[in-house]
Amino acid sequence: MGAPYDPTDERTALAGGPHRPAYHFAPPTNWLNDPNGLIQFDGTYHLFYQHNPAEPVWGDIHWGHARSEDLLHWTDEPIALEPDSPNVDADGCFSGCAVDDDGVPTLVYTGIDDDRARQCLAIGDETFRRWEKPSVNPVVETPPPGVDRFDFRDPFVWREGDGWSMVVGAATESDSRVLLYRSSDLREWEYRGAVFVDDRPDVMWECPALVALGGRGRGRGGDQGRSQSRSWNQNRDQYLMLGSLLPTRAVRYYVGSYADERFEPRREGILDAGDFYAPQPFVDESGRIVLVGWVEEARAEPAQRAAGWSGLMALPRELSLDEDGRLRTAPVDEVRRLRELEYELPAVGPEDGTVFVDQPRSETIELVATVSETDTGTEPSTASLSVLRSPDGLEETVVRVDPDRGTVTVDRSRSSDDPAVETHEQTAHFEPTADPVTVRCFVDRSVVEVYADERACLTSRVYPTRADSTGIAISTDGASVDDGTVWELASVWDDFAPSPA
Ligand code: FRU
């Protein structure tokens, strides 16, 4: 562990591949799933992730690692955790988190061996490159009675009061639950009961997280542990609980109160209705809640093997509550720095038919447009934004917005000529509105990431096959697109571009 690691060649070899993202984080090579150990430490952001360094398919799970100063440009770091400890984690280092233990970076993760899950630590130093598994591992050896020995995973830890709290996802025969533990030193943990129970059988809450939402000012400084403990003291009624649920793979959120070691939900919803799973939130040094989630593939395994890589991370998002207590999700402000050439979009009304946009022709864009209902009284009232469109229109991905119904849909039925990719429609819901809805749509080669008024979001994978599937078209039905802008976005991976022939 910690050997010099320079995956520049791997990244360069994969750069420029038709579906390789230009401004989303993908692994240098091979497999990636859940984000882990998100933390900002002495100003630098760290992203760890579930990683198979040998193949672009799930298995032999390590923790990959990258660092960034701006949540956009990432530098690969040595692999942080290897599955190498018999009776602890020899079959995999599964998901977990990072905390700042009074200046000592500490990872908390699930070790898998012999189909048993145990909660473990790895202790780092200020380089974030050497991770030692202490002899006290595992720090939680067995689950409480009634909990499955394997479905007991994904610790999420925060500082609370004068100690540490941890939630762990768990399944019993009859329900799924989020277990709460307390510790004064991260090494000895006391089980305190289920903080939340989902009483449906055959459900498993993976990657649970509990984080204080409200009343948090910006720019107060402090580390993850400290800012979380401050909010815990102040805002017990504004907590966010997240879970990634098997078998449907829905990412649910609940806003509610956290008091007396119980979480009581008031509102719930789907965080992202697309190919999005296992997100992790963290509190950064400015006090904002930043969320990173895994964007899965929607192509078959042979295509992943042929590509040499699998999986990427959605854009980092900031989560907040609006004045009505509803959750808001927006890409972090830093994402605006990617904007390069800017183009105006024409206004398009129901009489205009399909309007083809001449410029830009690009597979890496941000498109912002405002959709309003018109007074025609027709049903439905939708605007369709077609991206990654070939000049003959045979390949295109259509983002359809319906303010009246409160839906945003990504129609992938014609996204790709490849018959072996998923094509089902994906839809996110928000409260229906007669007001204009502003849509931000990020296109990055094989990712279409859509935000509707920060109230709904949807991240979909698409795999255009034609080099000229780079166009934009707009049409409406009972709605109008009032104004809009498109930017070509910069690549964050320019250092890895293959040298021109
Ligand atoms: C979620 C998950 C976690 C587990 C990890 C294994 O995608 O199944 O529950 O820790 O992935 O890679």
The pLDDT assigned to 8 comes to 86
Q: Structurally, how many domains does the chain consist of?
A: 2
In a domain, 109, yes or no: yes
CATH code for the domain in which residue 294 is found: 2.115.10.20
**Containing domain of residue 13, as a range?**
8-331
The pLDDT assigned to 396 comes to 98
The pLDDT assigned to 234 comes to 54
Hey, what are 229's tokens? Answer: 């403990």
Residues 311 and 354 in one domain: no
User: DSSP characters for 300-367?
Assistant: -HHHHHHHTEE-EEPPPEEEEE-TTS-EEEEE-GGGGGGEEEEEEEPPB-GGG-PEEE-S---SEEEE
Residues 303 and 446 in one domain: no
How far, in Å, is the centroid of ligand 1 from the Cα of 170?
A: 12
Of 302, 331, 360, at which residue does a domain stop? 331
In a domain, 1, yes or no: no
Does the C-beta of 194 come closer than 6 Å to ligand 1?
Answer: no
Residues 386 and 291 in one domain: no
How far, in Å, is the centroid of ligand 1 from the Cα of 152?
A: 11
The pLDDT assigned to 380 comes to 77
Active site residues: 34
Does the C-beta of 387 come closer than 6 Å to ligand 1?
Answer: no
Does the C-beta of 110 come closer than 6 Å to ligand 1?
Answer: yes
Determine the Cα angle at 38 with ends 296 and 107, to 5°: 110
pLDDT means over runs of 10, the chain (501 residues): 69 93 97 98 98 97 98 97 97 98 98 98 97 98 97 97 97 97 98 96 96 58 42 72 97 96 96 98 96 98 97 98 93 98 95 94 98 76 96 97 96 97 97 94 98 96 97 95 95 80 53
The pLDDT assigned to 138 comes to 98
Ligand 1 atom with the shortest distance to the CA of 96: 10
How far, in Å, is the centroid of ligand 1 from the Cα of 34?
A: 7
The preferred substitution site among 32, 33, 107, 245 for testing ligand 1, maximizing ligand atoms within 8 Å of CB, is: 33
User: DSSP characters for 420-480?
Assistant: TB----EEEE----SS-EEEEEEEESSEEEEEETTTEEEEEE----STT--EEEEEEESEE
8 Å CB contact between 385 and 453: no
Of 289, 314, 331, at which residue does a domain stop? 331
How far, in Å, is the centroid of ligand 1 from the Cα of 58?
A: 10
CATH code for the domain in which residue 399 is found: 2.60.120.560
Ligand 1 atom with the shortest distance to the CA of 206: 9
The pLDDT assigned to 376 comes to 60
The preferred substitution site among 52, 58, 112, 153 for testing ligand 1, maximizing ligand atoms within 8 Å of CB, is: 153
Residues 255 and 221 in one domain: yes
How far, in Å, is the centroid of ligand 1 from the Cα of 35?
A: 10
The pLDDT assigned to 448 comes to 98
Specify the residue with its C-alpha closest to ligand 1, atom 6: 94
Residues 326 and 351 in one domain: no
The pLDDT assigned to 221 comes to 34
DSSP state of 494: G
Ligand 1 atom with the shortest distance to the CA of 207: 9
Residues 101 and 174 in one domain: yes
Quote the CA–CA distance of 319 and 359 in Å, as a whole number.
Answer: 33
8 Å CB contact between 116 and 150: yes
The pLDDT assigned to 235 comes to 72
